[in-house]
Amino acid sequence: MRSVKVLPNTATEAQLPASDSSPENPFVARPPSSREKILEVAESLFAVGGYAGVGMRQIAASVGLSKSSLFHHFPTKLELYAEVLDRVIERLELGLCGEAAHPGKAADQLDHWIASIVGTLAESAPAARLLLRALVDDDPFPAIEFQPTDREPMSFEIRLDRVIDRFRTLLEEGIADGVFRPVSVGDAIQSTIGAIVFHFASGDLGEALIGEPIFSGSAVDRRRREVSEFIRRGLLA
Amino acid sequence: MRSVKVLPNTATEAQLPASDSSPENPFVARPPSSREKILEVAESLFAVGGYAGVGMRQIAASVGLSKSSLFHHFPTKLELYAEVLDRVIERLELGLCGEAAHPGKAADQLDHWIASIVGTLAESAPAARLLLRALVDDDPFPAIEFQPTDREPMSFEIRLDRVIDRFRTLLEEGIADGVFRPVSVGDAIQSTIGAIVFHFASGDLGEALIGEPIFSGSAVDRRRREVSEFIRRGLLA
DNA sequence: GGCCTTGCCGACCGATCGGTCGGTCTGTAA
DNA sequence: TTACAGACCGACCGATCGGTCGGCAAGGCC
């Protein structure tokens, strides 16, 4: 149903370089385009309410636009949601891409991996929840009645699969080298994802458990150390 | 708002002993009461769609009743959802209660704990998803506009807190005894919950990762071993 | 001046939402 | 037979849902 989706998005794309070329402008540090504002607001709202739990009116009101204007930037609610998810996975990829230059032993690579993902998830509160919802909600979106039998995989899903595949390779090589225990790779991935992502999605419960806001600097630093050590020991031979 | 809730439920309660007293009845092996059927159907639907993603009409149609009949058994959608969650946490408690008789070293207790929870989550597919949603969805329910400032904690939440508290005690004692590393207890709990619960909530992704249905016997057995060993090594000194 | 594009809006649409109401049917006790 | 209670249902309610449509204002281009 949805086409290949090369969204026009000309405004943002064309505006950014132009503004960038005059970096001395002291006023209005890049007034975020409406499109960008919509995406950010939608991200935080979808994170706490889920796809079905947030209405276009609510998003519009939070942005400060009318509902009609939302549909001027995004053809449907589903496309808006898809683009929100895309932004999340893109940030993850970006962080991992920076770490990809880190060659070395599998154990070190694992550390960099975990540090990168923890860092990315800690940067924006909605990310982990969105990710967890997307992983748990069957297929792509919750509660869609019709199953088009052969739904196209959606950008978000294939990109996520690619990330997970790279992690699987990391584990398999580590096992082959004798660095990691001969674990069931699939189960190890599941345990790792759960341990890392859940924490930053756990909201009030997590805050109650660790005794301070999840996203505070000290909590994030400690989390990085703790979960890294936890997973290292869980995997190392 | 909600009262102590000692639901009438007389039909079920009164009917069961009567039927039990005539166990030779070959016909209709305990036709589950409508109320029970509603709870079961609602559990599986809420698990995949979330609270906001499932309508009372959809539940009613799946049960084979009219929507009005649902409201005959449950005053509101929210109360139905709350009772669904209660059943899930109750099953968890029941499993742990059986294991509580297992005294011994902290490491052994940890193993029994993990085995019990994995067993309970593996028994019914919706449980893990429901649990994860309840943990991630802020407070109790998703996307409730009004925050009554001091919402009553809800049976589900306090019972869950109790379970987690017992687990925290287990970890703290293990650390005091030198059995476990001196980890940050809060973070360790988060990692453990994530590693255990996420897997059984991961649906298609999990199936793709491990190469077989998550809830198949062999997958559950392996999962129990793998996640148990993973967490043990992550915690042991 | 005319003209087109872009961002935005109010008003409106059909569908669906949670929930209510009046009523029927059935089984049981008096 | 009558009376009552519980299970169940169709019809309906106001509110809200995602989405459409026509039009207004501003800026660039000819």
Do residues A106 and A170 touch, judged by C-beta distance below 8 A? Answer: yes
Identify all chain A residues contacting B137, using CB atoms and an 8 Å cutoff: 48, 50
> Closest nucleotide to B69's CA, by C1' atom?
D8
Q: Give the per-residue pLDDT at A157.
A: 86
Q: How confident is the model at residue B19 (pLDDT cuts 50, 70, 90)?
A: very low
Q: Distance (Å) from CA B56 to C1' C17?
A: 9
Q: Give the per-residue pLDDT at A226.
A: 96
Q: Which residue(s) pair with A236 in the sheet?
A: A180
Pick the residue of A54, A89, A156, A209 with the most B CBs within 10 A to test the interface with B by mutation: A209
pLDDT at B24 over 60: no
Q: Distance (Å) from CA A11 to C1' D28?
A: 15
Cβ A136–B132 below 8 Å, yes or no?
yes
Assigned token pair, B131: 């649990």
Cβ A129–B139 below 8 Å, yes or no?
no
CA A96 to chain centre: 12
Assigned token pair, A75: 């053809």
Q: How many CB atoms lie within 10 A of CB A55?
A: 15
> Closest nucleotide to B68's CA, by C1' atom?
D9
Could you check: is the Cβ of residue A169 within 7 Å of any atom of nucleic acid strand D? no
Which residue would you say has higher pLDDT here, B174 or B31?
B174
Could you check: is the Cβ of residue B62 within 7 Å of any atom of nucleic acid strand D? no
pLDDT at B142 over 60: no
Q: Distance (Å) from CA B67 to C1' D11?
A: 12
Q: How confident is the model at residue B217 (pLDDT cuts 50, 70, 90)?
A: very high
Nucleotides of D under 7 A from a protein CB: 6-11, 16-22
> Closest nucleotide to A77's CA, by C1' atom?
D18
Min CA distance, B27 vs chain A (Å)?
36
Tell me which amino acid residue A95 is: G
Q: Which of A54, A143, A197 sits opposite B143 (nearest CB)?
A: A54
The Cα–Cα gap between A132 and A147 comes to 21
The Cα–Cα gap between A58 and B142 comes to 14
Q: Which of B52, B184, B236 sits opposite A50 (nearest CB)?
A: B52
Taking 70 as the pLDDT cut, the residues of chain A under it are 1-32, 99-103, 138-154
Q: Give the per-residue pLDDT at B64.
A: 94
How does pLDDT run across A162-173, given as a tens digit for each residue? 999 999 999 999
Q: Give the per-residue pLDDT at B235.
A: 95
Full DSSP string of B139-198: SSSTT-S---SS---HHHHHHHHHHHHHHHHHHHHHHHTTSB----HHHHHHHHHHHHHH
Give the CA dihedral B130, B220, A193, B232, nearest 10 degrees.
110
Q: Distance (Å) from CA A11 to C1' C8?
A: 15
Cβ B196–A201 below 8 Å, yes or no?
no
Token pair 């064309």: residue: A14
Could you check: is the Cβ of residue B55 within 7 Å of any atom of nucleic acid strand C? yes
Do residues B211 and A186 touch, judged by C-beta distance below 8 A? Answer: yes
Could you check: is the Cβ of residue B65 within 7 Å of any atom of nucleic acid strand C? no
Q: Which of A168, A226, A236 sits opposite B187 (nearest CB)?
A: A226
pLDDT at B15 over 80: no
Q: Which of A184, A192, A210 sits opposite B187 (nearest CB)?
A: A210
CA B43 to chain centre: 10
Min CA distance, A195 vs chain B (Å)?
4
Scanning every residue of chain B, which has its alpha carbon at the shortest distance from the alpha carbon of A184? B226
How does pLDDT run across B156-209, given as a tens digit for each residue? 888 999 999 999 999 999 999 999 999 999 999 999 999 999 999 998 899 999
